[in-house]
Chain A
């Protein structure tokens, strides 16, 4: 009986958390702050969330592109079609790896930082004191961070894909000697803008939104102690990684699956 009761308690907790997250999101989105105040805040967050994540995204993109180039060459040269390496790299990056790996890196780099920062602001009563000063922290603190994550994610993913394709070209064309014309030609004839590039962008937009939501909510909802902040940070990384991978499957099935 105790087990059933505890299962029920867990279920209620989950439902309550989802409800809180939804109300929290509604609070953030409905609170529109004056552009003159909101814009500089957004820029500052875009800088710390987006620009500072650029290095890790570029470096990982380069290496992943180079690995794809090497692996693709080894496999495709068995069939004598190493010229198809361009389309393989481009499709892999634009459709899958670009959005997913960027989201995972972003969750580790920026998501944990967002959660920890907001959690610490909560623990040191900064959010509370803002409320007492008649300033809504959802608007002032949370909203710029949510939007910054939402905007930065597609940008980072696009940069990741481009750097990855360049890395793949570096290995395939410069090193392994695939003819450059067929590298780009094959790529261009098989990658479709609406089907592949735009769907990839839609994925990143969805990931960016879900990920930022999880990160700021975990920070805002955390238990304001050092143990609470550390567990919230862990939860951000775990939940957003799982959410990204799960959503990726769903989105891929909807976009590319032929039913």
Chain B
């Protein structure tokens, strides 16, 4: 019987470990059991992406709706081309919406905010945002302010 008790307790131990890992996955890292098929891709060109990196957040009205997939340089226009992965259930982004780089808090990380336009048409997979607003460069702002321009 002692062996049986040991086995049960050990089984519970392993279950507790798996539960802890599930907790880390779902509650701590916010991983949702959702496959890549449930997303579509949009593009945006920026003059300056600032601190945007792959896996960065894409939000609409403060709600996360996707993430940055890649940041590349367009060799012809010398602009940064950002590939965005957007959740499939957000499929009605107005076509004249613009992508804006914002900072969460004063020193927080930068993310891409989609500010909503008023067009009746929506952006389709593979489309590019017409208007974008580049990262606010704090250093440049301070320089401008200090030199009184």
Contacts and interface: CB of A to CB of B under 8 A. Distances in A.
A197 B25 contact: yes
Contacts of B30: 187-189, 191
B24 A158 contact: yes
A84 B7 CA distance: 42
Interface residues of A, number: 36
Interface string A72-114: 0000000101001000001000100000000000000000000
A155 B31 contact: no
A47 B6 contact: yes
Contacts of B13: 46-47, 50-51, 54, 152, 155
A190 B20 CA distance: 19
Contacts of A155: 13-14, 16-18, 20
B14 A197 contact: no
A193 B10 CA distance: 27
A186 to B, nearest CB: 9
A184 B30 CA distance: 9
A51 B9 contact: yes
Among B24, B25, B108, find the residue whose CB has the most chain A CB atoms closer than 10 A.
Answer: B24
A64 interface: no
A51 B9 CA distance: 8
Contact of B108 (A81, A151, A191): A81
Contacts of B14: 46, 151, 155
Interface of A: 40, 43-44, 46-47, 50-51, 54, 79, 81, 84, 90, 94, 151-152, 154-156, 158-159, 161-162, 165, 184, 187-193, 195-197, 200-201
Interface of B: 3, 6-7, 9-10, 13-14, 16-18, 20-21, 23-25, 27-31, 55, 57, 64, 105-109
Closest 5 CB pairs of A and B: A155-B17, A188-B30, A158-B20, A193-B31, A193-B29
